[in-house]
Structure 1
């Protein structure tokens, strides 16, 4: 792309002094004046979001970008990075297009930009809201230092089916936890003033219900009652919008027969009329074009329908650019439809301060001093350590002593490219430390580390190729598996303890990475069996972007540490936890099944008319399986510590409240073990009798506390009628009088319980 001398036309851009007292009036006057000058082609051009080709998430790539910028046919560009390149593109817009309207620049900044934090499912496992907000703040600082001003995050899709690969990008199965995290992410990205050059426009995705795709197959159909939508799946989107998110991305799936990108009820009736959203709606990658395959018509028809449904910006497909003028002439869209969409794009740019200074994000000095700083890397290490979930620790196998020799064996041991996890598109994969490298650096020669591949990621070479796309290479040894294992055993003979680095590669989860087999691959299982036979302690360090079925591993291994994909500082953080510098405190944000046949599986299920009696495994003519219990392998909220915690009985300040009152539920939590530690104290509520069926329990609060060994703390939760509300059959959000159970404990199964009553 050519470089041009910077010149901004003051007659159009002027000086936009944005203050809270006068912003709406001044902004609307400015946008009205600009719209009045725009041609139809220029208005439609603002609705066109293209990719620069650096990073793509679909099969299409935009072409002829430079000439389209100068003709006013591009409103935004994504996947273009660096202040220099973005400045060049912005100069084309503000110097060489007729009205000199600046461009908005976006990127999928999902869990960090250059400093990569744990995958979102891992971050959710920290249950640490201030920490999660900090990670989004750092991501915003680094992304804006590279010239960007828009991120396609947070992803707030509820998912209860581990077959769906994109479960890794969200916060798990629970409505309450996901809504809390959505709020923190938006605030972290956008800060308190979007016109600051280190704040990033958030985009809530995927609207809506994407995580409920049938059969866990990506892009698939979703069919759901309004009751379930409103009570279980929509609240995280609403929480993000209430937190101030100014853009929303449509989902790929159809919803009860109408694809999201053409769904007027979803994008206009619900989002704008009911929720009062006044920001920008953008499609996902070529989602307008994909409406053709959904069976809604040709490109002109689906583009018109998408615009009229409430979409403002068309990502990559250029259906708006190439068909809306013809549709307007034929009367299938109206001028006001195009004006509405264009206004929303322009207002977004105004709120970002781009009309005042189109180059506010193009400072190379920031790029050098605000990316991958010691402070950011320290936060990444902390976030990774808090995200890890200790699933098993028999006979206090962990923490390990900082002495002797440790063998780190497995296909995930020496692949730095996989440590950031899926959807870390800006990570420097070549300079990211592998698990072994990170552990060696963290342990500083106190422990000798030996290593070996041990097994291929999978026996299926074609599957391994699909699972290591986008540069996430894992070495492959084409010799017989027995030969590779024998060499690994020889390496392991040198060691006092074996760390088995196994599980998924980073691209075995994420977009278009649905799976029907959630076991650890057979190649890795054979390796584990051989390592166990050595008689040495074997610790499984599990890499995964989803719940896996770990029944065999849970039965045969003394210790399992789930590290998800911990980001830039994975190796250091794993060493911190394995050797006791950090006591693990992560709790599962999603249920781990015993086997895939239990899916979808989640804790907040409803009772049936024939529930299984408590403590029973099987009863004929009850809701259960012949071959496995109803129980999960690891329940929602579960996670061990190197120490132990005890809970007192629950104390209620009142056992009866009316609609204008609240009560306090409290427990005393004591660290009864030998280590200082953190505990996530979880509050659940059950509505025992209601006008419609209610879940057997719902998370309604949590607090993460730190306790020194031997220390006790009283943890209090305030419960008000607001916490008891739900959407009834008339979709009225209200509470109903009756008896409620309250549960407090360490996970969704290990709980103390009592009751209170809500009266009218």
Structure 2
């Protein structure tokens, strides 16, 4: 670990706060006599420190701060440019973006083991200190990585503790548990050097086909608001400081009401709709985020159709960013776009268009100008700082406007204590990330979130819980070694006393050449054809307990009718599910979304209105226990 430098006055300033000047003093400015002013200690008011640093920054350095992009992580923790090597090998190399584009913000996707991750992080901060002019420390951000999930937006947990997805916390509805989870994730993030969380999602799951429902807290605005507030408190504390991870709450002003559930990451969906005139309902969780002082806000991709003076996407929309967010809510934190609004992404022979919905005909440079004029501070998934520089030099944008955004971004770095000490202790990272008490807490939460939907009676006794060790089990989509701890696993249904099956909510890929789009869980929510027939055949052959992973509200009336017991999970291991089935843990979950009775009912719903499907199979809030 790099140790901080002690100044004459006894204060501690990390090496990352040093500039490249030969006298090795902290970042500084020249006073009237041409001599260098050095801060006596880190308690100097932040505003003064920001003013001082802003005076030293060139236009290019300021422009670079307005961009955050993903970066490659080499498998040995090094930061060299090794083509084709490391996690997300297609991603740019951070050190190159630091020196060529003056960037100081990066996000990580899949990551290597925790020791390598912490080593890489320290190497990158050391590079910032030694190889950049002002030595401004880096801010590393991440999507969620503590969920037991394969969801495309939940980074594989790897060494991190594994909890249910946000939808599972909504099923539990316990604010204290929500804060505990966030506090554990905070400790793991800080240990690895991740100081900004690209979450929580405050969106509401009012359109059941939307692929991102598992990342929400369901469709009820009050429940979501309560959990969003606890979540942010767990990550940030009462105020942002050196023990905090800054939260970037998303996606303002609510990304849930997508037309027919299609997602605006892609050109086949550019606008969200409000047939129920329910725009304000989707603001309620964000109001809770503001009360919790969320450090940053991310708007979504789509166009809030017919809700503002022009039909352009949220980050280009001055009515949304300045009129609503800045003026009405008085929000003065960082606002960062979602990823990839300015430049097209080329993936072999496939072009993934920039998500510049409503302004597709604008040049890249004019898109940047429109985003900044709307009131946004930072561009996600981009590194085109040259557009900002040119806009200023051409007189289309003032440097004072850039300073407003840079000031917000610098403030966040100062408040997080990155200028005092940006480094992590690698040994502490190894000891903290995924430690036993964190893992056990996550596993317990997985069990609590499981929701018992149906429990048939046989001779006045409910089927569940089953009696451990007494039954012959036929299993499907369950690890046989794990299941053998609960009963005798047999090879054929006719040999078993009971079957236990795990299912996933159905989805059907959109027809497109974009492989990323094909991975989104779009489409209908019901099982079809031979897949449905084989499930029902088993259920009619032998008494069967069904557990279904709910990342969207499954439409399963026939499965429900024929199953002896039906459970829903929101990201859970086989052991967690079997513990509940066999009574070693009790199901505590209540549905945070309703389960519709048919796809016709889904298609007739209004995208912006909660719990409005006709005669749902299970209503919002349903959940049994024993």
- With the shorter chain as reference, the TM-score category is 0.7 to 0.9
CA distance in 2, matches of 1:333, 1:291: 23
Q: Does 1:317 pair with 2:382?
A: yes
Per-residue CA distance 1:18-70 (angstroms, 9 max, x = gap):
67xxx8xx111100010011110010011121211359xxx995535323313
Query: What corresponds to 2:8 in structure 1?
Result: none
SS at match of 2:212: helix
Query: What corresponds to 1:630 in structure 2?
Result: 614
SS at match of 1:287: coil
Query: What corresponds to 1:228 in structure 2?
Result: 278
Give yes or no for contact 1:506–1:544 (8 Å, CA) kept in 2.
no
Aligned-residue offset at 1:99:
1.0
Q: Residues 241 and 288 from structure 1, CA distance in 2 versus in 1: closer, same or farther, beyond 3 angstroms?
A: farther
SS at match of 2:128: helix
Aligned-residue offset at 1:406:
4.2
Aligned-residue offset at 1:634:
0.5
Q: Does 1:69 pair with 2:93?
A: no
CA distance in 2, matches of 1:606, 1:285: 28
Give yes or no for contact 2:178–2:231 (8 Å, CA) kept in 1.
yes
Per-residue CA distance 1:53-95 (angstroms, 9 max, x = gap):
359xxx9955353233135611201107511111111112122
Q: Residues 326 and 52 from structure 1, CA distance in 2 versus in 1: closer, same or farther, beyond 3 angstroms?
A: same
SS at match of 1:86: helix
Q: Size of the alignment, in residue pairs?
A: 536
Aligned-residue offset at 1:439:
4.3
Q: Does 1:348 pair with 2:412?
A: yes
SS at match of 1:202: strand
SS at match of 1:212: coil
Per-residue CA distance 1:709-750 (angstroms, 9 max, x = gap):
xxxxxxxxxxxxxxxxxxxxxxxxxxxxxxxxxxxxxxxxxx
Task: Within 5 Å, give how 1:286-685 maps onto structure 2.
Answer: 286-289=340-343, 290-292=354-356, 294=358, 295-319=360-384, 321-359=385-423, 362-395=424-457, 396-410=462-476, 412-414=477-479, 436-440=480-484, 443=485, 447-450=487-490, 490-504=491-505, 513-534=520-541, 536-566=542-572, 570-599=573-602, 601=605, 630-642=614-626
Aligned-residue offset at 1:178:
0.7
Query: What corresponds to 2:292 in structure 1?
Result: 243
Query: What corresponds to 2:151 in structure 1?
Result: none
Give yes or no for contact 1:603–1:636 (8 Å, CA) kept in 2.
no
CA distance in 1, matches of 2:433, 2:500: 32
- Structure 1 stretches of 5 or more lacking a match? 415-435, 451-489, 608-623, 643-760
CA distance in 2, matches of 1:16, 1:399: 66
Give yes or no for contact 1:406–1:499 (8 Å, CA) kept in 2.
no
Give yes or no for contact 2:206–2:608 (8 Å, CA) kept in 1.
no
CA distance in 2, matches of 1:332, 1:380: 51
Give yes or no for contact 2:203–2:254 (8 Å, CA) kept in 1.
yes
Query: What corresponds to 1:31 in structure 2?
Result: 50
Query: What corresponds to 1:741 in structure 2?
Result: none
Aligned-residue offset at 1:388:
0.9
Per-residue CA distance 1:325-352 (angstroms, 9 max, x = gap):
2112233222122111111111111111
Q: Does 1:138 pair with 2:184?
A: yes
Query: What corresponds to 1:757 in structure 2?
Result: none
CA distance in 1, matches of 2:325, 2:408: 14
Aligned-residue offset at 1:438:
4.3
Aligned-residue offset at 1:258:
1.7
Give yes or no for contact 2:596–2:617 (8 Å, CA) kept in 1.
yes
Question: How large is the Cα RMSD of the aligned pairs?
Answer: 3.0
Query: What corresponds to 2:335 in structure 1?
Result: 281
CA distance in 2, matches of 1:532, 1:401: 20
Q: Does 1:118 pair with 2:118?
A: no
Q: Does 1:85 pair with 2:86?
A: no
Per-residue CA distance 1:293-336 (angstroms, 9 max, x = gap):
542501000001111112211122223x0211211223322212
CA distance in 2, matches of 1:637, 1:18: 50
Give yes or no for contact 1:109–1:152 (8 Å, CA) kept in 2.
yes
CA distance in 2, matches of 1:311, 1:603: 27
Per-residue CA distance 1:487-539 (angstroms, 9 max, x = gap):
xxx522332211012224899899862432211354442332332343x3210
TM-score, structure 1 length as denominator?
0.66
Q: Residues 17 and 248 from structure 1, CA distance in 2 versus in 1: closer, same or farther, beyond 3 angstroms?
A: farther
CA distance in 1, matches of 2:161, 2:129: 32
Match of 2:253 among 175, 183, 208: 208
SS at match of 1:165: coil
CA distance in 1, matches of 2:41, 2:326: 28
Aligned-residue offset at 1:405:
3.5
Query: Of the two structures, which has the highest relative contact order with CA contacts closer than 8 Å and spacing of 6 or more?
Result: 2
Give yes or no for contact 2:200–2:228 (8 Å, CA) kept in 1.
yes
CA distance in 1, matches of 2:120, 2:508: 29
Q: Residues 506 and 377 from structure 1, CA distance in 2 versus in 1: closer, same or farther, beyond 3 angstroms?
A: farther
CA distance in 2, matches of 1:279, 1:252: 20
Per-residue CA distance 1:233-264 (angstroms, 9 max, x = gap):
01101211211210111211112312111111
Per-residue CA distance 1:472-496 (angstroms, 9 max, x = gap):
xxxxxxxxxxxxxxxxxx5223322
Aligned-residue offset at 1:594:
0.7
CA distance in 2, matches of 1:227, 1:355: 46
CA distance in 1, matches of 2:607, 2:592: 10
Aligned-residue offset at 1:408:
4.7
Query: What corresponds to 1:150 in structure 2?
Result: 196
CA distance in 2, matches of 1:346, 1:314: 15
SS at match of 1:150: strand
Give yes or no for contact 1:590–1:602 (8 Å, CA) kept in 2.
no
Give yes or no for contact 2:202–2:254 (8 Å, CA) kept in 1.
no
